[in-house]
Chains A and B, each alone.
Chain A
Amino acid sequence: MVNTNRRVMIQRTAATVGALSVAPQLLAQSAPVRLGYSMSRTGPWTGGAQTSQEPNYLLWAEQQNAAGGLDVKGVRRRIELISSDDRSDVETVVRTYQKLMGSDKVDLVLPPWGSNANFATAPLANRFGYPFLAPTALSRRLIEMKLPYFFSLLQQPKPMCDAVVDMLKANGVKTVACIYVDDLFGLENYAALKVALQGTGIQLVEDKSYPGGVKDLSPTLRSIKDKNPDAFVGFTYPPDTILASRQAKEIGFNPKFFYASVGTAFPLYKNVITAAGAEGVLGMGSWNSKTSAGAKAYFDAHVASQKKEPDRWASGACWAGLEILTSAVKAQGLDRKAIRDYVAGTTHKTILGDIRFEGSENVGTPGSVGQWQNGEFEVVWPAKIATARLNPNKPAWK
């Protein structure tokens, strides 16, 4: 009798101990990883945010959860995205991140869209100790703020302009005309262009700035056409990129190299200008589905899940950032300081190639130039990441 009771008791104790040792893991599996962010779903920043950033966040969460959850040091935990609309208003962005990091105390945060919002939130994230991998923050000043928790994934103006100038120089261009939008982006890129052009023998025959949202660029384009430059470089935002392209077609301005920075990488450009019309147009782009097998997988998944194509510049950087975050969490768990050190100190393998950070700047991805060829935005410079050869003679506008 006593033996049976003892056996039963031992069995029961063993079962309880066994259960207790497994239970924490079960409980941990059910506790989701909370990631917070604010994104522009209304207001002027919506176009960019909904093309380059938010679809990637959603796709990533979807993919990770389909695999059982985010790998946190060996344990798979479901991702819970806590997001809200910031109405393209800086004050709202600040308030949202204060709530996420200060009150809700989420596990990790994802950055908002655009330089203005990142300027406001990067110091905040730094103070709270949350790593920030920003794919759409483009300003030298942000890097100069030397915030240890802030990482900018997109290439800075200097490498991008160096790439353009190298490409132009290698193709025998002698004269170039430039227009740039009236804000930090335009100004920084214009300054970088001028620096890059020094000593190359290429002459800047015209440089005009214009206010964002301008309705008619044809007077400026006409005077540029009169000067007949070999190349046209525009530091423009999507509406102005489309306007400049249309009006160049209208007045018959067709230089051998037509470069319009932002917007050319968006699928929107092909839709509005038509694929035939876009042939030969250059712009800021750093990847497409031919860049690597991972890139193609990402592209297809994006189209299948979000029902639209990713853009060929910032989207890639955004996804690369998410890849970095995934591997950081896998290696270091949810210890934010450890994640930060991991991100800062390792060379990461992503769909864009190797990414490495010096301070806040991504020095692994080189400056690059893309070109529309046969309905696809190919990377044509530099040769080591090119997906197609540069077409040095832009055909006439269709």
Chain B
Amino acid sequence: MNARQILIRDLLVLFGLAGWAVALPGFASEFVTSMALTCLMYVALSSSWAMFCGTTRYLSLATSAFFGIGAYTSALSLEHMPWAQAVMLGALIAAAVAIVMGAAVLHLRGTYFAVLTFGMTELIRHAISYFEKSVTGTVGRVLMVVPEASTVYYTVLLLAVLAVALSIVVRRTRFGLAMLGIGADEQRAQTLGVNTRIIKIAGFALTAAVAGAVGAAMSVRWTYIDPHTVFNPFIGFQTVLIALIGGAMTLWGPLIAAIVFSVLAETLRLQVPQIYMMSLGLLLILSVLYLPGGLASVRADTFRGWGRDLRAWWADLRDELSGEKRRREAREKQLRERRHGY
């Protein structure tokens, strides 16, 4: 299939899924719609995260910060402006903060960057807490003006579709290729003329905009928001987890993983909730160790590779236990000494 056909295929799949999701509230109960809403939220968050962080390999833990900024924006502005504008304002302010943050920290790599984004999230959280407490004398906001639940659902659905569509489009443009280049070897990309700084900040801002919009939309569900709930680092962690397990460099990986995890969360939560979290952790460890490309990179060959690894490990263990390994090493050593005399 050539590039154009792949593009059409991707878009068709997206529209198919979107159509199904649009029809969902019509035939499913409020509870299932609610579950779908959380699923869509993580689709939006992890797809946009993977679009930037998967390609450029800059692991950002700042999703919670942008989510919280969006939530606070909508809490403060819903009384003064209509719904759509409040959500867009949330996205804009989050993007603005991302630009500032990015300009300051995007020259550091790897763990420094991850740790720094985490620190910045906590900084923003404490700063807003302190500001609210001292200046406005309150902590947390009550949302009095709340739109219908279906409005929230369709907004988040739209955001999810937008995030995936953005991923589909961006990876075919020069911008997307530039990000991939940065991820592969940043210095080489620079020598080839890519303005890495601008590209990184733009990508970071895009991710933040989606996260901010999602935060603005979701905050109305909780009626009362406070810094502790909306800047909860777990939102950021779960986004990263889902994107990584799904396959941060792939297009459909985060989406698949988001769906799998939402279903898993609901079923496990009702039975044994701690097991859900433990299995999340275990799955992450296993996927990083044995499936670094994520769920979406699973092919027939992957299983064959595992089979080979397993058999090799078993053979090695058997050899070691039976002493064969020692004998083999002694033989090789003898051979080496005879040949080279040392």
Contact = CB atoms under 8 A, between A and B. Distances in A.
Q: Do chains A and B touch in the complex (CB under 8 A)?
A: yes
B277 to A, nearest CB: 8
B228 A183 contact: yes
A183 B140 CA distance: 8
A103 B30 contact: yes
Interface stretch (B73-81, B182-190, B267-275): B267-275
B129 interface: yes
A42 B133 contact: no
A211 B224 CA distance: 19
Interface string B131-166: 001000111101010100000000000000000000
B269 A209 contact: no
Interface stretch (A57-65, A92-100, A162-170, A215-223): A92-100
B322 interface: no
A98 B269 contact: no
A119 B31 contact: no
B129 A182 contact: yes
Interface string A104-134: 0000000000011001101100000000000
A182 B139 contact: yes
Interface stretch (A83-91, A259-267, A299-307, A361-369): A83-91
A41 interface: yes
Contacts of B129: 182, 211
A94 B269 contact: no
B223 interface: yes
A184 B140 CA distance: 7
Contact of B31 (A99, A120, A145, A182): A99
B34 interface: yes
Most buried by A among B35, B129, B146, B221: B221
A102 B29 CA distance: 7
Given A92-B269, A102-B31, A182-B129, A120 B139 contact: no
A87 B226 contact: no
Contacts of A87: 269, 273
Contacts of B29: 99, 102-103
Contacts of A120: 221-224
A91 B221 contact: yes
A265 to B, nearest CB: 23
Contacts of A209: 133
Given A84-B269, A211-B126, 15 more contacts: A42-B274, A84-B270, A90-B222, A91-B218, A94-B221, A94-B222, A95-B38, A99-B30, A102-B30, A103-B29, A103-B32, A119-B223, A120-B221, A182-B129, A183-B228
Which 3 A-B residue pairings sit nearest by Cβ, starting from the closest?
A119-B224, A99-B31, A102-B30
Interface of A: 41-42, 84-85, 87, 90-92, 94-95, 98-99, 102-103, 115-116, 119-120, 122-123, 141, 145, 182-184, 186-187, 191, 209, 211
13 contacts: A91-B38, A91-B221, A95-B38, A99-B29, A103-B30, A103-B31, A119-B223, A122-B223, A182-B129, A183-B226, A184-B139, A184-B226, A187-B139
